[in-house]
Chain A
Amino acid sequence: MGWESWIIDTLKRALAYGTPLLWGTLGEIYAERAGVVNLGVEGMMILGALSAFAVAQSTGNPWLGILAASVVGGFAALIHAFFSVTLRANQYVSGLALTIFGLGLSGLLGTSWVGISLKNPLPKATIPGLERIPILGEALFRDHSYLTYIGIVLAVVLWFVLYKTRWGIAIRSVGESPSTADAMGIDVFAVQYLCVIFGGILAGVAGGFLSVEYRPAWTEGMTAGMGWIVIALTIFAAWDPLQAVGGVVLFGALYHLAYRLQAWFPPEFLKLMPYAFAILVLAVAGLRKVKRGAPASLGVPYVRGQR
């Protein structure tokens, strides 16, 4: 195998594996930019994966599956928003509970779907013109899921909204200093609710991608720790949607390489990779001092009248 096909293969697999990570990370970036940590990504993803598979299998339309996943993800996030924003519960505990709840519930409800392979998975697409670029064209623009392309466009749009629009200033201000936003007439609770729910919708789609495209079947716990990688990538990307794309590709490539190494290492090694990478990413993020980039009021419930 030549180096060209090696690069193409790595990039291709990195994008495919990275797509759910990208969707999840973009969602978590918005939630955290509004000051709410949601550790329930894993739970929202797995619920999204199950509902996407169930709906796609029953209706025969994978897009309806993705839609269902986004709705379910959004509702799951609504639970987190209610506990952490309205009831001001500890955000970390509430998010962890959501993950455990999601994993448990999906395992329970999914038993009858286990072992069926999806008859009608999500189609792939090739972008005419761009695919002709040597090497990169084939790696980036040929035979990828629609969700991969949409995800990358979404990253650009979300970056633009965050930094160049009124909404963006409001969202970032809520995450940095909710009391300031409140004093300037921004509805802090509404912004936090919307961002958390938006994050849940994206996490749901991420999960749906897994079950109707990446591995078109339902298996219990099929997110396999991706939700945690999302949390790590959010930090790695310094809460910036564009940096998230880079982080996701890098991560996907690393994962692919580890997959290749399977021939020489036991299979447990591969299962370990996401967590090892998450720790590695956080260590690198720590060295890059991206901590300074964290929204200043991240994880702190807002109470009017307190400083």
Chain B
Amino acid sequence: MAEKRTDAHPDSLASHQNVALLMRDITKVFPGVVANDKVTFELKVGEVHALLGENGAGKTTLMNILYGLYQADSGEIYLYGKRVRIRSPRDAIRHRIGMVHQHFKLVPRHTVAENVVLGLDGAPFLAPARAVEDEILQLGERYGLKVDPKAYIWQLSAGEQQRVEIIKALVRGADILILDEPTSVLTPQEVEELFKILARMREEGHSVIFITHKLDEVMEVSDRVTVMRRGKVVATLSTADVNKPTLAKMMVGREVVFRLKKVACERGQEALVVEDLWALSDRGLPALKGISFSVCRGEILGIAGVAGNGQKELVEVITGLRRATRGKVFVLGDEVTNENPRRIADKGVAHIPEERLKRGIVPEMSVAENLILKRHHRSPFCHGFFLNLRAVKRFAHHAIEEYAIMTPGPDTPAKLLSGGNIQRLILARELSGEPALVIAAHPTYGLDVGATEQIRQILLEQRRRGAAILLISEDLEELMSLADRIAVIFEGEIMGEVSPEAATLEEIGLMMAGEKRRVRR
């Protein structure tokens, strides 16, 4: 049960009428890290408040404490001046707090209405889903959250699923809404729509906490911003009084270079050619429907698109992890369609996989072992049956230094490394043999600004060296600054190809939503 105390908080901050939430001196320690160190956060009624910081800065931890998923080790929470204890999400909901998690908390095989009614107090025992259908439609009208209550979640786009999450919170009467990195899965148009919805909510008197690490969004949507770094609050400011470089400096703790220097490169031999490629998804449905393109040495071809439109299958078919049902793949002129992954890798194909922890490393194995995964069966790491541990260690020390992998040592289990360092480890392994072709799937996804910058530099360096790079990303800014050409994928088809210099974000966004580009070649 949530405990409510009637005594007013002595602090003058909370005695202001317009303060919805005050979290004071919140400290949360996880084994080995102080995730929140005496964090104080204040939210006014009817404001959109951005919570800005790099990954691992402690933003999500703070919000999980507010939502009752974690318990703070110390500190107090006040809602409208009253001290509250929030021990579980149920308590949070009772206090009219709603949260839209970065990874949606939805049951894909259930309908929208079933998801909305799950755990809802006061829902009838019989036919509960039908009882909320009307309310879902009404809220949709009022806030511009259009969604069919009878549709199954798996049928919906990411943007629609997010609307379901917001509806879930509103049905529970949420006054305070927490959005955790809400734009990371949306197309530019969907982001615009989300911002309109937030504006509607602000007009209706809701208070919104908007967690992000994207500066543009802070500037566009928020009234105030709180910047966090390494578990501490750096500052809380009115958005009107700040600019992007100031925020970036606060967030990272140093100056950030916004533009990457890209040297012009000579286009060389075709390293990867894909012809009329078809493949099935895990569900047995067509995921690739006749994809054709080529990438030359010394260029970066970007593949833009909302997640789940065939990018994963495309990478898997090229690297030999999934069977092509039709079509051909050529690497450096040799056909490798449906060859086994090791044969393809041996042709000089590096693979930086989408799911770093699942496919990039063996988490339980050491850094050194992970570094030689791809070449452990060859000299100098192996002589006949035995591993040459000295060579392994020498290579590991070299790689750790060259790629600045922050690890206690080569024998540390890889799972203990942070996301950025795991990615550096993968790059060190994959790029060590000077590959002719680099397949990079979402290489900077979820990484902080510093690591992102470094990994982009490494990719450009590979391009300069003469590698062909296939870059799959959802981050349009990344594609615009790195790629020489951008192809847009939608439901397993290439909608069109643009050059980053000539294309606008709107144009690419429309293609990401399925509009085919008028052919003009």
A interface residue numbers (CB < 8 A to B): 164-167, 169-170, 172-173, 176-177, 179-186, 289, 292, 296, 304-305, 307
Residue on B with the closest CB to A179? Answer: B105
With the chains together, A182 CA to B90 CA distance in Å? Answer: 9
Chain B residues with Cβ below 8 Å from A177 are: 105-108
Does A305 contact B69, Cβ atoms closer than 8 Å?
A: yes
Question: Which of B69, B106, B126 is close to A164, meaning CB atoms less than 8 Å apart?
Answer: B126
Which residue of the partner chain, among B67, B88, B103, B110, contacts A173 with CB atoms under 8 Å?
B110
**Structural contact, A307 and B103, CB atoms closer than 8 A:** yes
B residues within 8 Å of A by Cβ?
A: 64, 67, 69-70, 88-90, 93, 99, 101, 103, 105-110, 114-115, 117-120, 123-129, 168, 283-284
B90 neighbours in A (Cβ, 8 Å): 185
Chain B's interface: helix, strand, loop or mixed, by majority? loop
The answer on a CB contact under 8 Å between A183 and B99 is yes
Contacts A177-B105, A183-B89, A304-B69; A170 near B127 (Cβ below 8 A): no
Output the least CB separation between A236 and chain B (Å): 19
A180 to B99 CA separation, bound complex (whole angstroms):
12
**What's the Cα separation between A296 and B154 when bound, in Å?**
13
| Known pairs A166-B123, A185-B88, A305-B69 / 12 extra A-B pairs, C-beta < 8 Å | A165-B127, A166-B124, A169-B114, A169-B117, A169-B128, A169-B129, A181-B118, A183-B69, A183-B105, A184-B120, A186-B119, A292-B283
| Chain A contacts for B101, CB-based, 8 A | 183
Bound complex: CA of A176 vs CA of B154, how far in Å?
A: 13
How far apart sit A203 and B247, CA to CA, in the bound complex (Å)? Answer: 62
Cα A172 to Cα B152 in complex, Å, equals 14
Residues of A within 8 Å of B125, CB to CB, are 165-167
The winner among B70, B88, B119, B124 for most chain A CB atoms within 10 A is B119
Question: Is the beta-carbon distance between B109 and A296 smaller than 8 angstroms?
Answer: yes
Contact B107 A172 (CB under 8 A): yes
A194 to chain B, nearest CB (A): 15
B128-A173 in contact (CB<8A): no
- A176 with B109, Cβ < 8 A, contacts A184-B118, A292-B283, A307-B103 known: yes
B363 CB, min distance to chain A CBs, angstroms: 13
With A164-B127, A165-B125, A304-B69 as contacts: A176 and B107 at CB distance below 8 Å: yes
B128 contacts A182, C-beta separation under 8 Å: no
- Whether A176 and B110, one on each chain, are in contact in the complex, defined by CB atoms closer than 8 angstroms, is yes
Distance between Cα atoms of A182 and B123 in the complex (Å): 17
Instruction: Give chain A residues whose Cβ lies under 8 Å from the Cβ of B114.
Output: 169, 173
Residue from B69, B105, B124 in contact with A180 in the complex, judged by beta carbons closer than 8 Å: B105
CB distance from A50 to the nearest CB of B (A): 38
Instruction: Chain A residues near B115: list those with CB within 8 A.
Output: 180
Q: Are A173 and B107 touching (Cβ within 8 A)?
A: yes
The distance in angstroms between the C-alpha atoms of A177 and B109, with both chains bound, is: 10
Q: Which residue of B lies closest to A164 (CB)?
A: B127
Question: Given A166-B125, A166-B128, A185-B93: A180 and B118 within 8 A (CB)?
Answer: yes
